[in-house]
Amino acid sequence: MTHSRIATLAITAALCALTGSVAGAESVRIAPRPPLGWNSFDSYGVYLHEKAAMENLEAMAVQLKPYGYEYFVIDNGWFGEYKLKPGTLYPLEKHASDVRLNEFGQVIPSKTYFPGGFKPIADRCHQLGLKFGIHMMRGIPRKAVEMNLPIKGTPYRARDIAETNPKSNCVWCTYNYGVDMSRPGAQEWYDGLVQHLADMGVDMIKYDDIVPYPAEVEAVAKAIKKCGKPILYSLSPGGDVPPEAIKSFQMAHMLRVTKDVWDQAHYLDDCFDAWRKWTGKEGDNFWIDMDMIPFGQLLMMSPRKEMLREGDANAVRLAGNGYRRWQQYSQDQMFTFITMRALSASPLMVGGDLPTMDGFSLRLLTDPDMLACNQNGVMGKLVSAKAGIEVWRTPEKGQKNRGWIGVFNRTDRLKTVTLTQAFLGLETPAKLCDVWKGRKEHQLTVSSAIEMDVHSDGVLFLRYE
């Protein structure tokens, strides 16, 4: 396949994804291909403020939108009234000591970080041809329960539906109680909340701590359907993901199957394990999500490493993983990370700060072969695993002898592999295109054996046809 044809395929796929997501009704499939976007958590934790939001939004429109990325997502904490270091926007607490609610107990943007509200951000998203997403925690705010605020449009109040049993509530983020879906008013709570978000211009909801509670997963899906607006629905675990609840999860569009993924090597192992477990569970409107892409600068609101010594008053340990830094993967690990995302058809949600994003990261994130493979929408399968070398293959949808292959070296030393038709799991001879090495081409015949080196934690990313 020529480079120009690869680029055309990638751009066409991305445009199709855009078209499908704006069509306006669930029947036309909101997520016909793995969604592409940016999420603020890796770069700003739960402390994104409106200036940084606008800067990242403008950068996204320039850097990523031309390649099909469309969802701009503000993660947790946007409703939190944080205590700040005097004269700055830097937080002095991991989670906000107070949250901002309307009269019905529904969260609204905080005055601390979003004094202008969400309208300017949502409007600018839509002006740029992008979509606006936000993070939500499962349940109902504890503050609403303490105040016993009314559930909009019903005779019920917050205490009537709240599940206050500690065993049924999130242990790492205590803003909310769960909702007991057996109680009157419970579905109405989610109906009103989702409508409230839709009215704020929201096009995507990332719901956290919800996967272990299928009844609430279904409640949100029903509420989205009732609101009459096409909203992408993303599930985050908060804990383990029970496979037996797959039918509930398929009411959403994305299912996170890993815990938070960061920029250390062991997270690559977690993703490979999840890939094995969830292979084949994707669908035309339902994607297996292996979390965000931690490339670029991370945790911009957190102290730097040198400030994390004991006794430093400014070194509050904040949400996220560690300290402010540039991502720590080697280039080989970055190749492996993004190739895995492409072959597994995982949604691509960039996590690093976009205004300062480095050129190498952008090259990987916008590579036409990588995007074509990802937007192909087929989750690759394991061909073989031997002596630390794993071969995964993703066929091109609708084509018999075309697709992509990843030969991953999961050892701590360089390995030489011999590419044969049997080794790659191919039924016929093929032309191989080496994506990450200048798209160098190799002809694989019935009898040929091509030797190639694969670095530790590295990958050969091959296009075959």
CATH superfamily of 3-379: Aldolase class I (3.20.20.70)
285 contacts: CB under 8 Å, gap ≥ 6: 29, 30, 31, 32, 253
**Backbone conformation region of residue 203, classed left if phi is above 0, alpha if psi is from -120 to 50, else beta:** alpha
pLDDT at 315: 54
- Domain(s) of CATH 3.20.20.70: residues in the chain: 3-379
CA distance 84 to 70: 32
CB neighbours (10 Å) of residue 437?
Answer: 11
pLDDT at 237: 83
pLDDT at 197: 98
CA distance 212 to 224: 19
pLDDT at 15: 43
Contact 89, 113 (CB under 8 A): yes
Find, among 306, 305, 303, 307, the residue nearest to 319 by Cα: 303
CB neighbours (10 Å) of residue 176?
Answer: 24
φ and ψ of 123, to 5 deg: -60, -40
* Enclosing H/E stretch for 409: strand 403-409
pLDDT at 9: 45
pLDDT at 25: 39
CA distance 318 to 309: 14
Q: Which CATH class is domain 383-464?
A: mainly beta
- Domain(s) of CATH 2.60.40.1180: residues in the chain: 383-464
CA distance 171 to 49: 25
All residue ranges of the chain with pLDDT < 50 are 1-26
CA distances from 295 to 321, 417, 462 (A): 14, 28, 23
pLDDT at 45: 97
pLDDT at 446: 87
